[in-house]
Structure 1
Amino acid sequence: MKMFFQQKYLWLIAAWMVTTSVLGGLATKLGPWYFSLIQPPWKPPDWAFGIVWTTIFILSALAWMVAFNGGASQSQKNKITMLFWLNGFFNVLWSVLYFRMQHPDWSLIEAFFLWGSVLAIILVMWPIRRLAAYLMMPYLIWVTIAMCLNWETLVLNPGAY
């Protein structure tokens, strides 16, 4: 019976999930500055963000496994791995810029790189296994929503950064 996924890749994916989520979580500081910001009325409650990100990381890990198990060449596996680690960097950097440095203006610019990294993963996965690309769609949608939220925060809080 063929193993669904090789253990060495599972550790790599788990390392990406843990590293990105822990560093992103540590960079997310909900302090007085954040709570003083005027938020758009459609912003989800703060507690929902953890649920959304956990779901996105699980779907991303599944997408990674499906792509690797779906006949990806070694070159494609290397590209997917590099793109996920680049995405993790952009993910954490956004939190550092927004929450730690209190610069939603800089984080909005950076968010385009985060969005592009998710799109790049989808485009690389698409010819390998479409299911893997579809599993990444919620991540792209969420980053798009986050960018809109980031923009509205800038509009509602001129000079707060």
Structure 2
Amino acid sequence: MDSLLVLVAFQAASFAAAATGVIFRSGEWYKQLDKPGWRPPDWLFAPVWTVLYASIGLSGWLLWLEAGIAGAAFPLSVYAVQLLLNAAWSPIFFALHQPGLAAVEIMLLWAAILATIILFYPANSAAALLLVPYLAWVSFAAALNVSIWRRNRPKPLSEGAR
């Protein structure tokens, strides 16, 4: 029973990070941005993220099952950091309208996910491997974020326009 409660706690933590994506979702500002043609349709993001958040929660729980909180304190701390970074991206991009800052933030998120995978692997390879699709999707999301930032940043005034 304790194990099931901890699984629920890991899933709750994972989906709490997802909540910022629901609260700070795309709106008129996002619709007006110049986006690359390779961007997937908007409807695809919710189901992909739902599966990924479930995998993230399951991954943390599997590590906890293997090593416990005390035995995996550092890897679980890095795991918590990546969840916080994940939660921070949507407000930076969608609420603050800062795709450049969001690009920097998503790169930090990418590094934190990779660190989590590396730290999880020795204790529980399945827990680590569950995070690989998440890393792949964040890699794609980072490329999309950078593309949107580059396409929409203000153009410098040319010398002749003065």
TM-score (norm 1): 0.87
Aligned partner of 1:116 in structure 2 is 111
Structure-2 residue corresponding to 1:13: 10
* Alpha-carbon RMSD: 1.9
Q: Which runs of 5+ in 1 are unaligned?
A: none
User: What letter matches 2:57 in structure 1?
Assistant: A
Count of residues in Structure 1 that have an aligned counterpart in Structure 2: 155
Q: For residues 10-32 of structure 1, what are the alpha-carbon distances to aligned partners after superposition, in whole Å with 9 as ceiling and x for unaligned?
A: 2320221231112232122x222
Structure 2 portions without partners, runs of 5+: 156-162
CA contact (8 A) 1:108 1:147 kept: yes
Question: By how many angstroms is 1:108 displaced?
Answer: 0.4
Does structure 1 retain, via aligned residues, the 8 Å contact 2:20–2:88? no
Of 120, 127, 138 in structure 2, the residue corresponding to residue 143 of structure 1 is 138
Paired residues of 2:20 and 2:91 also in contact (CA < 8 A): no
Distance 2:19 2:150 in 1: 30
Offset of 1:78 from its aligned partner?
2.5
Whole-angstrom distance in 2 between the partners of 1:68 and 1:158 = 43
1:65 match: 61
Aligned to 2:48: 52
The percent of aligned pairs where both chains have the same amino acid is 28
CA distance in 2, matches of 1:110, 1:65: 26
Question: How has the CA–CA distance of structure 1 residues 73 and 17 changed in structure 2, closer, same or farther, with 3 Å as cutoff?
Answer: closer
Runs of 4+ in 1 over 4 A off after TM superposition: none
Q: Deviations over 1:30-51 (max 9, x none)?
A: 2221011111111011110101
CA contact (8 A) 1:38 1:153 kept: yes
Q: Does 1:90 align with 2:111?
A: no
Shift of 1:73: 5.0
- CA drift at 1:88: 1.9
CA contact (8 A) 2:19 2:87 kept: no
State how far apart, in whole Å, the 1-side matches of 2:20 and 2:116 are. Answer: 21
The one-letter code matched in structure 2 to 1:60 is I
